[in-house]
Chain A
Amino acid sequence: MTAIESTNAHVHDLGMPAGGPDVTTIAGAIDASVAANGEKQTTLKAKDLKTDQEVRWCPGCGDYVILNAVQSFLPSLGIAREDMVIVSGIGCSSRFPYYMNTYGMHSIHGRAPAIATGLAASRPDLSVWVVTGDGDALSIGGNHLIHTLRRNVNLTILLFNNRIYGLTKGQYSPTSEVGKVTKSTPMGSIDAPFNPVSLALGADATFVGRAMDSDRKGLTDVLRQAAEHQGTSLVEIYQNCNIFNDGAFELLKDPATGPMWTIPLVHGEPLVFGPGGASCVVRDDFGGLRIAETNQVDASQIVVHDAHREDPSYAFALSRLSSQDLRYSPMGVFRSVAKPTYDRMMADQLEDAAAQEPADLDALLAGGDSWTVS
């Protein structure tokens, strides 16, 4: 991971190609101040990531647990606070950066992936995170999300999916189930929801995972893999909005029903789930996947999870196992494949260009067709 590597390097790469113009770069000034501060502080505790700002989510909101999980897990990455940036859009979830003692920008509705793209593409030395909601990422910002995923900029996107518009007080969202009764849909919503994981895989996302707010261990595990992934990682986090959509994920959270409907994804392990491993995932006759009863199939028919498959159609088929009422929800990492990152390729082009033809502003301004008047 670039950000981790750079923590020891003490270099703040402001994105000028090596061997560039002979100007006193301000990047140099920063390097100096950083050096004066000595070693970067990379051994952090969760409390080092807290700010003095009062957290203003509703009591009981799932966002609290996610914030705690992130603050507890981030120190394990060994990244200095100043090298982390969290960019968010607008929504309850997007207040996240105010509570993290890192650099942050609480931007405008839907645009966080675009803003983070500019930052990550010009500062490959930083660890850049996006925090967004289901409305923010999939309604107003849907375009930025899919393009960010296809470009594979080095970013980690946390999509807090509460299947509702929280901040605007409870309208249905693009992930709400059909028939959802809200203030704006008194007779029930009539448009079909997005499955964010399917959508991301359709955009050829190189890393896609899903986790539950209340599952500290599962969430941390997916977040760690997402952070370590080079390129854009999308993590859908099921988040309870106890005010406007309480219990939306109860089916999966309730110890009585959860194991029945949750398919844990572990790379290299057979997809067997349910009480006593009663259910499993097998291939269907059409190249897709289906649920079967474990004792009805031959062990060799059970699919062994492979998150590293180049072709996204397997991960896509996994994402299609669940219905909009959340039965058969795979949780974990759907896909994690290596592909060149946008920021790295951009930096490479700059370096190649500088190597071929060093910057010479006078020559550029003069061009090839000048004349002299004496």
Chain B
Amino acid sequence: MTGTNHGISAPGISSAANGVTPGMHPAVDPDIDAASSSAPGGLVKSVVALDRVVIRLAGDSGDGMQLTGGRFTSETASFGNDLSTLPNFPAEIRAPTGTLPGVSSFQLHFADHDIMTPGDAPDVLVVMNPAALKANLVDLPGGGLLIADSDEFTPRNLAKVGYASNPLEDGSLEKWQLVSVPLTSMTTDALADSGLGKKEAERSKNMFTLGLLSWMYHRPTEGTIRFLERQFRRKPQIAAANIAAFRAGFNYGETTEAFAVSYEVKPAPMAPGKYRHISGNQALSYGLVAAGQRSGLPVFLGAYPITPASDILHELSKHKAYGVRTFQAEDEIAGIGAALGASFGGALGVTTTSGPGVALKAETIGLAVMTELPLLIIDVQRGGPSTGLPTKTEQSDLLQALYGRNGEAPVPVIAPRSPGDCFDATLEAARIALTYRTPVILLSDGYLANGAEPWSIPAADELPDLRTEFATEPNGEDGEFLPYLRDPETLARPWAVPGTAGLQHRIGGLEKADKTGNISYDPANHDFMTRTRQAKVDGIAASIPATEVDDPNGDARVAVIGWGSTYGPIGAACRRIRASGRSIAQVHLRHLNPLPADLGEILARYDRVVCPEMNLGQLAMVLRAKYLVDVHSHTQVRGLPFRAAELAAVFQDVIDGTTGTVATLDTGSDTPAQTGAAL
């Protein structure tokens, strides 16, 4: 499509008031590898190579920023960059248009090398209205590129968010490279012949913007065109309009004087293989389908819709061909109840929810502990307590997962570390549930759920073999069936499914007598069974591989320990520390219960242990209690992931506190490979 000039005029383009050459990329001091190219119309444009870029798109909830961001991500993934994304949207579906609560944003970090986070701060901020500007400008470092839809900066919209004068014109944005572009009117102009009304045509402005960004960053465009054709299969007129707007945006970039430079971010070197990009919820859903296939068991999902977990219910509902049953229950309790009922019948029972749902399911999780049936409880954590911050991320359900039940009710808990890792973590949760006949809680979170990254596609037949055996014969000495006679190694009890002749038995929530499973109120038996259930869960540690300690220099005296989605920011911060010449060891836990057998010994090796968490120190408390280690807890509950630079500063303080050295830290980037001083 390059070169197809739709003859878009660019009325009213104001270049930056501050005299910075528009299009000079901010934030990154590029390896200038500029080449010149000649665009149609005789404009001379240069191409600048960058090693990484962070873009944030912000607009009203109705402006389609998530969709635009998702498409840009797909283009970027298929181009071969490493990437990481951070969608950030309000809980309201459509807060009043143009207001601060209605602002939705999508941040994407992409690079020619391996990166770990969606970026601390954007290099480029695109704002579709004054509210988006107001809500996001604080995060844009000075000198950053700011693209604004000038059409939306009307007196009314400005007044809605309390701007007395138009910031695009009053010089208040001098610190940044401002490019005002009438995105809305250029979109409607481009669609003048589309037959769509003005309001409808305006809705394609996100595609115009995507087209412009696609030109700026040399993104492949075929995927988006195919996507739009597919998406609006039944509405060809809308498909055509969106495609036209997308192309018009691209061509506008090529022809306008407002953008003199475009940027190239080369593909990142990745291990050979087949890749796709994947979000955490998608990876988790595929993990469940795969667990069903690899165990040979039908999957039964009982769920009640809740943000940010609902997408798993949606995704699994599409995969009935794989023997997956999805049951949208009347409430959270019915969701887990039905899943447990299905497990009793020989299915892999699963329930998906977020923190408030886990609170409601607690009693049934206890029943699963008592009946010793396999069951997966997926908690996609969000900000709490109560309804909290439904669309934001937090790690504050750890203690609820570990201890949030009546009685001594041990439950294995595991957590994925990245969107793609949600797949492997789900298979691991299924392995534990099936091998040990126990409920397992998987703690994902909003950041993992909605964030995306490139994912190396595994071969189905190389995934773990999860086949398990049902009891088929009586196991007692007198030919009777003993439902609580345990496997000596795993302490798992036999799983005898209804329909198996001769193995009829009754289970339930009342305390069971050892072996027979009959109701027992005997004091010694209760003590024994309580300890046995605990020992079974503790024993899982024997099946966990040795803990990986990432300390490339091998001489670290400070270790940082984390769990779940903080892996990226912690890892990025550790790279910065190492780039500044210091050493730090990184330990990241997948298994939170039981903890790995070697963990105590590992932690004891270091002078200081730092534990960053998006809660008020829940893992730190557990580690202190269990290992008597003086863990330094660093916490944040802003509903957003940690920034790598902030963590690096914390780590530096701890290291310098132990060693007494003071050196300046380059907070530039995720990786030592980064050149220049990025912000």
Contact = CB atoms under 8 A, between A and B. Distances in A.
B581 interface: no
Given A33-B472, A101-B504, A118-B302, A372 B498 contact: no
Contacts of B321: 17, 20, 350, 353-354, 356-359
A105 B342 CA distance: 12
B171 interface: no
A114 B338 contact: yes
B253 interface: no
Contact of B499 (A116, A123, A143, A144): A123
Q: Taking each of B289, B346, B366, which has the highest tally of chain A beta carbons within 10 Å of its own beta carbon?
A: B346
B657 interface: no
A87 B460 CA distance: 37
A209 interface: no
A122 interface: yes
A192 interface: no
A106 B506 CA distance: 7
B458 interface: yes
Contacts of B367: 107-108
Interface in A59-95: 80-85, 87, 90
Interface in B26-40: none
A121 B330 contact: no
B595 interface: no
B298 to A, nearest CB: 4
B74 interface: yes
- The number of chain B residues touching the other chain, given as a range, is 35 or more
Given A115-B340, A117-B334, A367-B276, A359 B500 contact: no
A105 B469 contact: no
A51 B481 CA distance: 13
Interface stretch (A23-31, A173-181, A260-268, A301-309): A23-31
A359 B290 contact: no
Interface in A145-180: 147
A81 B499 CA distance: 8
Contact of A102 (B297, B459, B502, B504): B504
A98 interface: yes
A107 B339 CA distance: 13
B300 interface: yes
B467 A14 contact: no
Interface in A1-41: 12, 14-17, 20-21, 23-27, 29-30, 32-34, 37, 40-41
Q: Taking each of B74, B223, B501, which has the highest tally of chain A beta carbons within 10 Å of its own beta carbon?
A: B501
A260 B366 CA distance: 49
B323 A20 contact: yes
Contacts of A101: 504
A122 B343 CA distance: 9
A143 B339 CA distance: 17
Contacts of A106: 506-510
A98 B367 CA distance: 16
A371 B275 contact: yes
Interface stretch (B123-131, B140-148, B191-199, B266-274): B266-274
A102 B507 CA distance: 11
A354 B321 CA distance: 4
A350 B300 contact: no
Interface in A336-374: 346, 349-350, 352-354, 356-359, 361-362, 364-367, 369-374
B331 A117 contact: no
Given A26-B297, A105-B508, A359-B321, A111 B364 contact: yes
A27 B322 contact: no
Contact of B333 (A80, A114, A346, A357): A114
A282 interface: no
Given A30-B470, A33-B473, A105-B506, A125 B499 contact: yes
A374 B271 CA distance: 8
A28 to B, nearest CB: 8
Contacts of A17: 320-321, 323
A53 B504 CA distance: 14
A27 B327 CA distance: 22
Q: Taking each of B223, B344, B503, which has the highest tally of chain A beta carbons within 10 Å of its own beta carbon?
A: B344
Contacts of B349: 118
Contacts of B286: 364-365
B296 A26 contact: yes
Q: Taking each of B345, B502, B507, B510, which has the highest tally of chain A beta carbons within 10 Å of its own beta carbon?
A: B345
A12 B297 CA distance: 13
A350 B508 contact: no
A87 B340 CA distance: 12
B472 A30 contact: yes
B293 to A, nearest CB: 5
Contacts of B289: 361, 364
Contacts of B320: 17, 349-350, 352-354
Contacts of A33: 472-473, 500-501
B344 A119 contact: yes
A332 interface: no
Given A117-B334, A358-B321, A370-B274, A29 B472 contact: yes
A98 B342 contact: no
A231 interface: no
Given A30-B499, A80-B501, A105 B276 contact: no
Given A29-B470, A364-B289, A371 B504 contact: no
B80 interface: yes
Contact of B327 (A83, A118, A358): A118
Nearest to A103: B498
Interface string B296-313: 111010100000000000
Given A144-B333, A373-B80, 17 more contacts: A15-B325, A15-B347, A23-B293, A30-B500, A87-B341, A105-B508, A118-B342, A118-B349, A122-B325, A123-B342, A123-B345, A143-B331, A354-B321, A354-B323, A361-B293, A369-B78, A371-B77
14 contacts: A98-B506, A100-B506, A102-B504, A106-B509, A107-B508, A108-B364, A114-B330, A118-B342, A122-B346, A144-B333, A350-B321, A370-B274, A370-B457, A371-B276
Interface of A: 12, 14-17, 20-21, 23-27, 29-30, 32-34, 37, 40-41, 51, 53, 80-85, 87, 90, 97-98, 100-108, 111, 114-123, 125-126, 143-144, 147, 346, 349-350, 352-354, 356-359, 361-362, 364-367, 369-374
